Structure 1
Amino acid sequence: MLIGDVARRSGVSARMLRHYESLGLVRPTGRSEAGYREYSSEDIRRIFHIESLRSLGLSLREVGRALDDPGFTPSELVGDLIRQTRERIAAETELLTRLSRIGAAAPADWEDVLRIVALLQALGSDSAGKRQRAALSSAEEAPVPVEALVEAALSEADPNVAGALQWALARSGGGAVALLAEGLGSPAAEVRRRAVQSIAEIPDGEATAVLREALTSSDVVVRRCAALALGARGVADAVPALIDMIVEGTNDVDAADALSALASDPTLADQIATGLAGRLAHGTDDSSVRLRLAQALADIPGPTTSRALADLSHDEDRAVALTARYIRTLRDGR
């Protein structure tokens, strides 16, 4: 079969067939009387083998080795191809993500594009200072896509940079809460913690709704952070979790402050006092728990609190009793 016929049937151009011949990959078996290349059925079969191996990403050199080296073992080469392909996919995915984020920022001109690229690169810098400056300048220099800010916030370990990213997210203009809420379902505890802390800094109704849902999280750190944030927003749903924090002695001072702020609402004050007194009524052998509950009652108005403090003023633990008496003295002097 002449080279033109082979090209038509195989889909490999005559020029490429000549290139294969120059590399020694496939040589036509003979020549016609007019001197034209003639390919046998075996030659054509080899051409198809070459094309099949090229479709896997092998170079022409690797193709030649695969076809001609009796000691060639494909498993190692295939393993390398898998690794290279994964690396290429990762690089292309990263590029696609970057391009999508630049597009989402709707740059007006190439200077905008360059500023956005510079900020995105700074957010991924090894330098905490550069990451922090990028977060703080994101609202002024160029609008960094919220997806990039969320990704950075969920992976940021430096507390100063994390604070700057949370500030930027709170001013990002929407879309951040839904993306951060996905982080609450992460298998990584650190990611869940960063997600709830970032949501807590966003003062809108959507964030409050997500924080309410977070009160039922199986992650105790998420529950506590959500409770403190909701307490500061005056949400009564946080009361049981805040009381739990006082009993457990975890962020108990912050929890007591949140309950005190909530108790400024007369409709919540008795609910809080009843909750705290209820923990005392059920009894606890741990005097440190009773002491924390007494201290938490200090700023909760109402008769329920007064009765609880009166009982605690006779507590068997001297520190608890003295604390309760002192609080009663302060309350009586108001």
Structure 2
Amino acid sequence: MTITSQDAEGHRALQELEDERSSVRLRAALAVGTAPDPHFVDRLVERCAIEPDFFVRDMLTWALTRHPVAVTLPGLVREVRSGRAQARSQALHTLSKIGDRRAWPAITRTLLSDADDEVARSAWRTAVVLVPEGEEAGLAEVLATQLGRGERETQLSLSRALVALGEAVVPALRAAMTAPDPRVRVHALATRRLWQDPDAGFEYAIEEAKRVVALGGSGQEGR
């Protein structure tokens, strides 16, 4: 079998993905994405699981999106079940960029409530992209079980995901606004505020919700 110069360059790029210098790894990921080869997909997916540099990981995701979906999808779906948090998170992120709804069955309740905040946030974003038409309300119900979780960055990610579901989110938020846990009520109120007014800042929405809850209200009075 004849080895072409393009093949040689591709194999060299794969080797450079292991280089200790992030700049070399970034250039290698760019090279693989510029000249896609289905034989390289498994190596790209494997590298996503361990790559320490954010920018290189982002380039690896871009490189994967340059390959045929039929080739990338099986490996990414397997990866979301990995025991390594970064592998799950990056595979989910890549699936969100590919946007093929055939991956939807892989977005399980377990992933949407993953103990690792970064994995859960990736799952929320990906679910909103992949959810089939007509299943938004069911997804909203599952996402609403995570209200009140984590710090502000995590809570903002969840609010954005819920707001992106549109009208389908309303019943889930109404139920959460009467939850026993005040953190859940505050987060639900703030999310509803963002749904009603997308230009409202999250910090303002949270503080406003805290005042309502502190006064013993649910935010549903008069509605």
Give yes or no for TM over 0.5.
Answer: yes
Task: Determine which of 39, 42, 65 is the counterpart of 1:147.
Answer: 42
TM superposition shift of 1:145: 1.6
Alpha-carbon deviations, 1:18-58, whole Å to 9, x = none? xxxxxxxxxxxxxxxxxxxxxxxxxxxxxxxxxxxxxxxxx
Task: Determine which of 240, 247, 251 is the counterpart of 2:148.
Answer: 247
Cα gap change, 1:245/1:219 in structure 2, threshold over 3 Å: closer, same or farther? Answer: closer
Residue segments in structure 1 that go unaligned for 5+ positions in a row: 1-102, 302-311, 329-334
Q: Distance in 2 between matches of 1:159 and 1:138?
A: 17
Q: Which residue of 1 aligns with 2:32?
A: 138
1:278 correspondence with 2:196: no
Q: Which residue of 1 aligns with 2:164?
A: 261
Cα gap change, 1:238/1:130 in structure 2, threshold over 3 Å: closer, same or farther? Answer: farther
Q: Distance in 2 between matches of 1:233 and 1:110?
A: 38
The secondary structure found in structure 2 opposite 1:248 is coil
Cα gap change, 1:121/1:240 in structure 2, threshold over 3 Å: closer, same or farther? Answer: same
Q: Distance in 2 between matches of 1:137 and 1:313?
A: 50
Q: Which has the higher contact order (CA 8 A, sep 6+)?
A: 2
8 Å CA contact retained: 2:185, 2:213: no
8 Å CA contact retained: 2:34, 2:63: no
Task: Determine which of 193, 213, 216 is the counterpart of 1:298.
Answer: 193
TM superposition shift of 1:168: 1.0
Q: Which residue of 2 aligns with 1:111?
A: 5
Q: Distance in 2 between matches of 1:138 and 1:316?
A: 53
TM superposition shift of 1:163: 0.6
CA RMSD of the aligned region, Å? 3.3
Kindly, what percent of the aligned residue pairs are identical?
22
Q: Which residue of 2 aligns with 1:162?
A: 57
8 Å CA contact retained: 1:156, 1:162: yes
Alpha-carbon deviations, 1:163-216, whole Å to 9, x = none? 1101111221132121122223333333333332333322112233322xx333
- Between the two proteins, the alignment pairs up a number of residues equal to 199
Task: Determine which of 190, 197, 210 is the counterpart of 2:93.
Answer: 197
The secondary structure found in structure 2 opposite 1:162 is helix
Cα gap change, 1:201/1:314 in structure 2, threshold over 3 Å: closer, same or farther? Answer: closer
8 Å CA contact retained: 2:128, 2:165: yes
Q: Which residue of 1 aligns with 2:203?
A: none
The secondary structure found in structure 1 opposite 2:177 is helix
Q: Which residue of 1 aligns with 2:199?
A: none
TM-score for the superposition, normalised by structure 2: 0.73
8 Å CA contact retained: 1:196, 1:225: yes
Q: Distance in 2 between matches of 1:177 and 1:159?
A: 22
